[in-house]
Amino acid sequence: MLRSPQPHDTMPAETLYALFVDELRDAYDAEKQLLKALRKMARAAQHPELGAAFTLHHEETTAQVGMLEDVFAMLELKPRGKHCPGIAGILEEGKEALEEMEKSAVRDAALVGGGKRAEHYEIAAYTTLVAMAKALGRRDAADRLQEILSQEIATDKKLDALAKQLLPLATREADD
| Domain-embedded: residue 169 | yes
Going by C-beta distance under 8 Å and a sequence separation of 6 or more, which residues neighbour residue 23? 125, 128, 129, 132
Mean pLDDT of 96-104: 84
| Domain-embedded: residue 148 | yes
pLDDT band of 148, cuts 50, 70, 90? very high
Are 169 and 47 spatial neighbours (Cβ–Cβ below 8 Å)?
Answer: yes
- Is 2 a residue whose pLDDT tops 50? no
Residue 54 is part of which domain span?
Answer: 16-79+90-175
- Is 5 a residue whose pLDDT tops 50? no
| Domain-embedded: residue 49 | yes
Return the SS3 of 5.
Answer: coil
**How many domains is the chain partitioned into structurally?**
1
Return the SS3 of 4.
Answer: coil
Question: What share of the chain has pLDDT > 70, as a percent?
Answer: 90
pLDDT at 14: 86
Region of poorest pLDDT, from 6-15, 114-123, 129-138: 6-15
| Domain-embedded: residue 10 | no
Give this prediction's pTM. 0.87
Return the SS3 of 36.
Answer: helix
Distance in angstroms (rounded) separating the CA atoms of residues 95 and 100: 9
| Domain-embedded: residue 97 | yes
pLDDT band of 170, cuts 50, 70, 90? confident
pLDDT at 56: 95
Distance in angstroms (rounded) separating the CA atoms of residues 126 and 124: 6
| Domain-embedded: residue 5 | no
Going by C-beta distance under 8 Å and a sequence separation of 6 or more, which residues neighbour residue 15? none
Are 37 and 115 spatial neighbours (Cβ–Cβ below 8 Å)?
Answer: no
- Is 94 a residue whose pLDDT tops 90? no
Mean pLDDT value across the chain: 90
- Is 100 a residue whose pLDDT tops 90? no
pLDDT at 3: 44
pLDDT at 69: 98
User: Which string of b and e fits 99-133 if b means at least 16 CB within 10 Å?
Assistant: eeeeeebbbbbbbbebbbbbbebbbebbebbbebb
Per-residue pLDDT of 69-88, as tens digits, reads 999 999 999 999 999 999 99
Per-residue pLDDT of 36-53, as tens digits, reads 999 999 999 999 999 999
| Domain-embedded: residue 3 | no
CATH number at residue 140: 1.20.1260.10
| Domain-embedded: residue 2 | no
| List of E strands, the chain | none
